[in-house]
Amino acid sequence: MTAVSTKDVNIYFSKTAGTPVVAAAPTGSAGSEATMAVTTGSGVALDALKIRGTGINSIDQACMAKSDFADGGSLELLGIDGGFTTAKAPTTLQVFGENDWIKLCLSELSINSNDPNTVSVATYCNPQAVMESAVQEAGTFGFGGYMSTCDTDYPELYRLCADQSEVLILIDLGNVDDCKQGYLLAEGVCSSNMAWSLPLDGAIEYSGSVLLQNKFRHFWPTMAPIF
């Protein structure tokens, strides 16, 4: 596999709740993207989406639009396979465009996935038997950077953490020549326990974390439906 440098990686947090879109229940068939008929709202290709209420796990979280969409048209969900049976119209569908993000100039980040929770179903025949718990934790996203209240990112980030806001996390993985590496996308809640480091000789640093509501997923423009 080709090695991809991290020099073009950019990290964004959503700073707004997005713009509402009204759409019908998703439809589709196996091997093609799930689609929704749009009643009200618009967006462009690779806008992030926050969806709830369809009853389809792969859709009821952070997704991306495959192409431009508008009133009376169809919203294709990039990488989301339409091979499901029944779904409901979303109770929440928010689109996040270019003005809904803050770019974070971080010096460090970590994506920490939790091991699956299990429940014991031990018997005398199999004392070690376990099953996967219905309650699963997606993990955390840790971040850190250098503090300056005169920059645009730090005050906005501090507000999100102080308010324990729900955010979308978007990591742009950059390009290799003409090949776009796509995005890592997840949702979470900012923790209010930001911390600061004040070394005797060095720069003031901050750190914090986001409690993930779902695990990161990788979306890229040419991907086939896989979720």
pLDDT, tens digit, for every residue of 148-182?
Answer: 999 999 999 999 999 999 999 999 999 888 889 99
Strands 140-146 and 205-212, by their bridges, are: antiparallel
Q: What is the pLDDT of residue 130?
A: 52
Give the pTM. Answer: 0.89
Q: In this structure, are 49 and 26 located in the same domain?
A: yes
Position 221 confidence tier, pLDDT thresholds 50, 70, 90: very high
25: domain CATH number is 2.40.30.20
Structure letter (DSSP) for residue 157:
H
Which residue, of 30, 64, 97, is where some domain finishes?
97
CA separation (Å) from 70 to 128, 157, 189? Answer: 54, 31, 29
Q: In this structure, are 212 and 126 located in the same domain?
A: yes
- Higher-confidence position of 25 and 114: 25
Under 8 Å between Cβ of 30 and 82? yes
226 lies in a domain?
no
Q: In this structure, are 92 and 195 located in the same domain?
A: no
pLDDT, tens digit, for every residue of 115-147?
Answer: 655 556 666 567 666 555 444 457 999 999 999
Q: How far is CA 139 from the centre of its chain?
A: 13
9 lies in a domain?
no
187: domain CATH number is 2.40.30
Q: In this structure, are 194 and 115 located in the same domain?
A: yes
Number of structural domains (the chain) is 2
Q: In this structure, are 214 and 121 located in the same domain?
A: yes
Residue 201's CB is within 10 A of a number of other CB atoms, namely: 4
Q: In this structure, are 46 and 108 located in the same domain?
A: no
Which residue, of 64, 97, 130, is where some domain finishes?
97
Strands 195-197 and 205-212, by their bridges, are: antiparallel
Which residue, of 71, 97, 123, is where some domain finishes?
97
Show the domain range for 77.
18-97
Residue 93's CB is within 10 A of a number of other CB atoms, namely: 24
Q: In this structure, are 106 and 199 located in the same domain?
A: yes
pLDDT, tens digit, for every residue of 71-87?
Answer: 999 999 999 999 998 99
